[in-house]
Every structure is written in C-alpha cells, then in structure tokens.
C-alpha cells in the first residue's frame, strides 16, 4: 500500500527534521556568535606632538637659478623620481602607478595644453609651492626654493615641448610673492 509507505516515511522525515532543528537551536549560541571578545584591549597611544626645530630657509639669487645648469638638472631628476614619477610617470606622460583612481588624472607634461599656472619656471614654481586644489596635486612647500627651481627646470627641459620663457618681471614678481631672496 503506497499510502502506508508514505506515512511511515513521513514520520522518519519529520523526526530527522525535528532532530536537526533541535541541534540548531541548542547550538544557536555557537553559530551566531563571533569569536572576537566583546571588549577589545585599548591600543591607544598618547604622546605629545613633536615640536619641529625652526629652520631658516636659505635665500636664493633668482638670477643664478633662472637658467638651468647640469647641477640643477641632476638635482631635479632625483627630486622628480622621488616625488613626481609615481603619479606623472617616468616619461612625464601622466600614467604613473599612483595615478590610478585620481580624478582628474595627473598632468601629461608632454602636452602644452591647459596648464593652470603656465609652462614658465614661475608658473611651475607656483604650482609646486601651492599645489592645485581641488585636484590631487599636492603642495611641495617642504622643498627648499632651490630644489623647486631644480625640479621645474628638469620638467621643462625633459618633458615640455617649446615651453614659454620667463621675463625678468615674472621672476621679480615670483621673488616678491614668495620672498625668495
């Protein structure tokens, strides 16, 4: 009789389902709890802010750094590889490994279009000193003025095609703005 077989099988399925349910309810604490203790140890470290020693920024002579020299270019290359190549790339085209996800993308130095401060030394120096907000171009105001000039000369010499030249008035205005001398 198929009905009797189904009735006996139904009881077995019901008993197995009930056993699984009872096992689940008895182990509910183990199943639903995390193994992380509810109170974490305090890992906060309280220290005083370190006071930096004041330093004098050495003055520079604009007339000495307005033209590129082999020493300035060598220093600029080191600074570029350390600070800039991660975003702007080794070849200055803007595709460095750290440029992923930056919006807007880092500047392609090989293109002369759309420079916010221009391709003159004074414009590049201004960009390095102040950064470009709201883009991800940070300020490099921690560099010494001669280092910023070295970096600007390296970028202009190696990446920017026929860049604009600074007039003496541009350089004097830069000197007056940032008190370089």
pLDDT tens-digit map of 104-162: 888 888 888 888 888 888 889 999 988 888 888 888 888 889 999 999 999 988 888 78
What are the distances in angstroms from CA 15 to CA 8, 22, 23, 48, 97? 11, 10, 12, 67, 62
Q: What is the mean pLDDT of the chain?
A: 84
Confidence band for 8, pLDDT divided at 50, 70 and 90: confident
Q: What is the Cα–Cα distance from 65 to 69, expressed in whole angstroms?
A: 8
Is residue 171 within 8 Å of residue 93, measured between CB atoms?
A: no
User: Which residue carries 């709890």 as its tokens?
Assistant: 33
- Residue 77's pLDDT is 92
Angle, helices 121-130/168-178, rounded to nearest 10 degrees: 20
Give Cα 167 to chain centroid, integer Å. Answer: 34
The pTM assigned to this predicted structure is 0.68
User: Which residue carries 């293109």 as its tokens?
Assistant: 111
Comparison of pLDDT for 75 and 106, the residue scoring more: 75
């Amino acid at each position: 009789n198929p009905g009797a077989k189904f009735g006996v099988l139904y009881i077995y399925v019901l008993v197995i389902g009930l056993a699984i349910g009872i096992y689940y309810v008895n182990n509910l604490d183990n199943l639903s709890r995390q193994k992380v203790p509810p109170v974490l140890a305090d890992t906060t470290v309280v220290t005083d802010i370190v006071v930096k020693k004041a330093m004098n920024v050495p003055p520079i002579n604009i007339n000495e750094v307005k033209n590129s020299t082999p020493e300035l270019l060598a220093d600029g290359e080191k600074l570029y590889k350390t600070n800039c190549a991660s975003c702007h790339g080794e070849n200055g085209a803007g595709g460095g490994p750290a440029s992923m996800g930056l919006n807007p993308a880092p500047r392609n130095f090989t293109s002369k279009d759309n420079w916010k401060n221009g391709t003159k030394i004074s414009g590049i120096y201004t960009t390095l000193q102040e950064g470009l907000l709201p883009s991800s171009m940070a300020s490099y105001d921690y560099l010494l003025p001669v280092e910023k000039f070295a970096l600007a000369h390296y970028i202009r010499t190696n990446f920017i095609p026929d860049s604009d030249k600074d007039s003496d008035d541009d350089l004097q205005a830069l000197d007056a703005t940032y008190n370089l001398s």
